[in-house]
Amino acid sequence: MRTMDQKLLDSLAFYSTKPNGLIPFYHKVQEEIGYIPKEFLPQIASSFNLSQAEVYGVLTFYADFRTKPPGKNIIKICRAEACQANGCHKVIEKAKETLKIDFGGTTPDGKVTLLPTFCFGNCANGPSVALNGKLYGRVDTRKIENLIHSIR
């Protein structure tokens, strides 16, 4: 079973004193270990003086938070309207076909997780794709193949 390391325990001590510290703490955990293990919830709940149902409810409400470890690399592709107008469906198809996974999936070798996003604010330079947090604009099928190739 996974437990919190000292760094996270310090963060927990810090954020649990704030009336709205739960969401920033979740961000912190995910930043540190890539996801938010459900095993942490009882301890989080008691530190924040909330019920387990409450902390779980917050965790699952927000699309950013994951309760399972993602692949080593995360590719996010925008599927919102402005990118659609610039043909993002072709980029999405290419990614799914190359990786042989659907949105939300992780390749069997654990290397890549593919996620949809609703707008990066890069609409004027779409289609938009983020690889491990770095944003790429004007992405076409060739560029997405190169991006995938760069991490495989």
Q: Which residues of this chain interact with ligand FES, rule CB under 6 A?
A: 78, 80-83, 119-123, 126, 128
Alpha carbon distance 4, 33 (integer Å): 10
Encoded one letter per residue, x for contact with another protein by CB under 8 A and - for no contact, window 17-46 reads -xxxxxxx-xx-------------------
- What does the per-residue mask of binding to another protein show for 1-20, with x meaning CB under 8 A? -----------------xxx
Measured CA angle at 132 (ends 126, 133), to 5 deg: 60
Please state the φ and ψ torsions of residue 131, each to the nearest 5 degrees: -115, 115
User: Which residue among 6, 49, 64, 100 contacts another protein (CB under 8 A)?
Assistant: 64
Helix ranges restricted to H, the chain: 6-15, 22-33, 41-48, 52-61, 81-85, 88-99, 141-150
DSSP, collapsed to helix, strand or coil, labels residue 130 as strand
Q: Which does 64 bind (CB under 5 to 8 A by kind): another protein, ligand FES, none?
A: another protein
Per CB under 8 A, residues contacting another protein are 18-24, 26-27, 54, 57-58, 61-65, 80-86, 117-126, 128, 133, 135-138
